[in-house]
Amino acid sequence: MIQAQTIKDTLCFKTWNDLTIHLPDQYLYWCCKTVLSDVQINPTKFDVDTLSLDFITNNAVIKQRKQELTSGIRSKECKECWDAEDRSGNSFRTTYYDNDFSNKTEFELLDKAKLDLTKKIELILTNKCNAACVYCWEGLSSRWQKETGVHFNDTEERTLEKVIEVLIEYWHKELYKHSDVSISLLGGEPFFTNHMFYFIENFANKIKSNNITIDITTNLNYSKTVIDRFFNAIDDTVRYNLILSIESIEDKFEYIRWGSDWKKWDLNFDYIIQKCMEHQNVTLSIGSAHNSLSLPYICEFLNYIESKNICFPIQMSANWVEYPYHMSIHTLETKHKEALSNAIELVSNMKTKIIRKREYISLLQSIKDSIGSKSNESHSIAFERLEKSRNISFSSVFPHFSELIKTYN
């Protein structure tokens, strides 16, 4: 651990705001960027007998991290952000909107840090998925498991039941007092399992509160029948936000999100837009995981979104891949910063109404700043393995691919 000058150099309220419950593997963590070492995971492992509200809110791991971050100490679990800040000065921590400390004193920040600030709970419902994205792995994709032969157990029904029981208790004791609580359903692919529909029926439809939003991240790689099942299942007193996963289009989309069908995605996108216009409690977001293959062509993706002429406001989020390293945006040559400059200008002038547009542009700027910190390592082996197993050629689809597999001196 490294001592920083002030707590503003280390404090990150995403640790306070976010909780992730990994149902298939039965453990907890706080913030999606957490480095999951055995030291961090083991004290957060649970089963149906040990999981409780107290286990979540008073867990030794989160208590220690909060103590470190409010003491100017770089917690080891936050290594991904420290590395990014050391490289470029920017990280997920510095761009997180709740970490604007400009008008706050250290006393005010410490006072706030004493509170239960939980407002986003992510549930990794399943590792079942009908896609094998190039930056994903077996632990979050049953299609990856089938491809490599590495098996992971999926969520047991009684685990899901216990998690719902604890969340209902948490809601009635504390969360109902918080404004705009979000519960995010992740996978795998939530629409590819009955777990999502069970959660809707046994949690969301029982809470019936407009102070909660159920976020669902989905790859849209399924039939319209499944979409109709969702809209028929939801209660109109609860808000839903569908986060559609995409950062590239056409052939590039299919190569990155292996197992997905671009034409099906495009048709389902149109259908979802139509359904959202019919259901006022359902909003739409675009979630991108920018990576070494997709990023040089980001303007193609943005122009595609603009071409849909969506007549209601949407949200756009810009995450980026750090690991596996061959998919990291850091491996790109600095010349691709121009693509981000063009993307920022494009977004600034888009007619599509983007909620929190300024924040989205700030994230794009952070991605731009992170490009070009590559190592001298060739990533040909990782890509060759995928090309062989999938009988594809990345160079046939991505013109810049040769840059990713050569060794730099």
The per-residue pLDDT for range 242-281, each reduced to its tens digit, is 999 999 999 999 999 999 999 999 999 999 999 999 999 9
Q: How far apart are CA 42 and CA 46, in angstroms?
A: 9
Structure tokens at 398: 């991505």
pLDDT at 409 over 50: no
* Tens digit of each residue's pLDDT (9 = 90 or more) over 289-329: 999 999 999 999 999 999 999 999 999 998 899 889 899 99
109 Cβ contact list (under 8 Å, min separation 6): 7, 8, 11, 70, 101
Q: Is 185 helix (H, G, I), strand (E, B) or coil?
A: strand
The angle at the Cα of 99, spanning 371 to 285, to the nearest 5 degrees, equals 65
Over residues 361-377, mean pLDDT? 80
CA atoms in the 13 A half-sphere facing the CB of 204: 29
Say what the pLDDT of residue 84 is.
Answer: 84
Residue 290's DSSP bridge partners are 320
Angle in degrees, 0-180, between the axes of helices 357-370 and 337-349, rounded to the nearest 10? 170
DSSP for residue 312: S
What is the pLDDT at residue 378? 65
Helix 224-233 crosses helix 262-278 at what angle (to 10 degrees)? 30
Q: Which residues contact residue 14 at a Cβ distance below 8 angstroms, ignoring those fewer than 6 apart?
A: 30, 31, 33, 92, 93, 96, 98, 99
pLDDT value at residue 373: 64
Among 70, 81, 89, 2, which Cα is nearest to 34's?
81
| Tens of pLDDT, residues 41-61 | 999 999 999 999 999 999 999
Domains and CATH numbers, the chain: 7-112 (no CATH), 120-405 (3.20.20.70)
pLDDT at 377: 60
Residues 6+ apart with CB under 8 A from 245: 217, 218, 219, 220, 257, 287, 288, 289
Distance, in Å, from the CA atom of 130 to the CA atom of 209, rounded to the nearest integer, reads 32
Q: How far, in Å, CA of 316 to CA of 279, rounded?
A: 20
pLDDT score at 40: 82
Least confident of 2-6, 48-52, 80-84, 252-256: 2-6
Region 29-44: mean pLDDT is 89
Cα torsion 235, 241, 244, 247 to 10°: value is 180
CA–CA gap between residue 284 and residue 312 (Å, rounded): 9
The pLDDT score that the predictor gives to residue 408 is 44
**H helices within 192-283, ranges in order?**
195-199, 205-207, 224-233, 250-256, 262-278
Angle at 177 between CA 52 and CA 106, to 5 degrees: 90
Range in 90-94, 133-137, 184-188, 376-380 with the lowest mean pLDDT: 376-380
The lowest-confidence range among 76-80, 154-158, 198-202 is: 76-80
For position 4, what pLDDT does the model report? 54
Q: Find tokens 């909660």 and name the residue.
A: 212
For residue 214, give the 3-state DSSP assignment.
strand
Per-residue confidence at 375, pLDDT binned at 50, 70, 90? low
Alpha-carbon Rg for the chain, nearest whole angstrom, is 21
CA 282 to chain centre: 19
| β pairing state of 282-290 and 239-245 | parallel
What pLDDT does residue 322 have?
84
Q: Whose CA is closest to 77, among 114, 43, 39?
A: 39
